Amino acid sequence: MGEIVRLQKYIAMCGAASRRGAEELISDGRVTVNGKKISEQGVKVEIGADSVMLDGKLIKPSGKMYYIMLNKPTGYVSTVKDQFERPTVVDLIDTEIKERIFPVGRLDYDTEGLLLMTNDGDFTYKVTHPKHEIDKTYIAVLKGGISIKGLAQLRSGVRLDDGFVTSPAEVEMLDAQNGHTTIKITIHEGKNRQVRRMFEAVGSKVKELQRISIGTVELGNLPLGRWRHLTSHEVSYLKNL
Ligand code: URA
């Protein structure tokens, strides 16, 4: 008998989506098991015995997993396909693996920097799950300055426009000249546009934003718009969070 797993995990193991993405595929009615459409969550399947189809195509757990980092430029969306036909981060992957990988979490259209991509849905689940509180470090260039009080508020936690109160952030002023201020900020939460909204909460405007690290995995000197495979050390660090 093969291993029995939940359907969303099976879909993730096939590299067809992240676990959360797989839940959506199921509720959208795009998945069948042994010919029967499944739209509720929680169904279990046996690997090697049950036949799972996505959009009418048989999917099977794939052998080879890819783990890469991209230095995302601004002007690209962090999805596989954009409803407005804007360029996506997948367009920047210039080999056949582009057919199979998807972004691990998101960077805004107007943010650049370190974005992980993989076809391992379990890896995505792990790295993006809030319980792991993985540190993400950004360089923010502000239009204008920031007050000492604003810096102190970011360090203790600020209330965002939707009422969410952020955890204390590590904040370091790197530079202030010609009407711009450069700040290094580390947070471990991942609310939508969180860094921009944190600065807005203390009266500052982010002009440029770049992510430079996720945990101990650093962007380093990877050129803008280029990607590389993660090292086995980086993969095992992220898998063992
Ligand atoms: N915070 C933001 O405001 N934008 C990002 O893309 C990432 C974090």
Q: Which residue is it, tokens 């999805």?
A: 79
Question: Are residues 116 and 221 both part of a single domain?
Answer: yes
Mean pLDDT of 40-52: 90
Q: State the number of CA atoms in the 13 A half-sphere of 68 facing the CB.
A: 25
Nearest alpha-carbon partner for 206 in 113, 144, 114:
144
State whether 225 and 181 are in the same domain.
Answer: no
Domain boundary among 32, 58, 84: 58
pLDDT of 1 over the 80 cut: no
Same domain, yes or no, for 221 and 173? no
Q: Is the CB of 22 under 6 A from ligand 1?
A: no
d(C-alpha 48, C-alpha 108), whole Å: 39
CB 91 within 8 A of CB 76: yes
Average model confidence (pLDDT) across the chain: 93
pLDDT in tens, 138-193: 999 999 999 999 999 999 999 999 999 999 999 999 999 999 999 999 999 999 99
What totals of helices (H) and strands (E) does the chain contain, helices first? 6, 15
Residues 209 and 221 in one domain: no
Whether residue 20 sits in one domain with residue 90: no
Q: Say whether both 42 and 148 belong to one domain.
A: no
pTM over 0.75: yes
Nearest atom in ligand 1 to the alpha carbon of residue 110 is 6
What pLDDT score was predicted for residue 73?
98
Query: Does residue 80 share a domain with residue 122?
Result: yes
Instruction: Indicate the residue among 58, 81, 102 that finishes a domain.
Output: 58
Query: Which residues carry out catalysis?
Result: 108
Gap between the Cα atoms of 69 and 213, Å rounded: 11
Please, what's the b/e burial string for 118-141 (b: 16 or more CB within 10 A of its CB; e: otherwise)?
bbbbebbbbbbeeeeebebbbbbe
Q: Are 151 and 167 within one domain?
A: yes
Distance between Cα 108 and ligand 1 center (Å): 6
Examine the domain organization and report whether 72 and 41 are in the same domain: no
Q: Are residues 204 and 228 in the same domain?
A: no
**111 contacts: CB under 8 Å, gap ≥ 6:** 72, 74, 209, 210, 211
Between 65 and 206, whose confidence is greater?
206
CATH number (domain holding residue 85): 3.30.70.580
Number of folded domains in the chain?
3
- In this structure, are 235 and 118 located in the same domain? yes
Burial of 163 (0-12, 13-18, 19+ CB in 10 A): exposed
The answer to whether residues 178 and 206 belong to one domain is yes
* CB-ligand 1 contact for 196 (6 Å cutoff): yes
Give the model's pLDDT for residue 62.
67
Quote the domain boundaries for residue 143: 135-214
Vertex 77: Cα angle to 71 and 81 (nearest 5)? 120
What are the tens digits of pLDDT across the range 180-221?
A: 999 999 999 999 999 999 999 999 999 999 999 999 999 999
Mutate to test the pocket of ligand 1, among 187, 193, 210 (most ligand atoms within 8 A of CB): 193
Cβ(103)–Cβ(89) below 8 Å: yes
Domain with residue 14: its CATH number is: 3.10.290.10
- Atom 2 of ligand 1, nearest CA residue: 193
CA of 38 to the centre of ligand 1 (A): 35
Asked if residue 32 lies in contact with residue 10, where contact means CB atoms within 8 angstroms, the answer is no
CATH number at residue 139: 3.30.70.1560
For residues 197 and 166, what is the distance between their CA atoms, to the nearest angstrom?
10
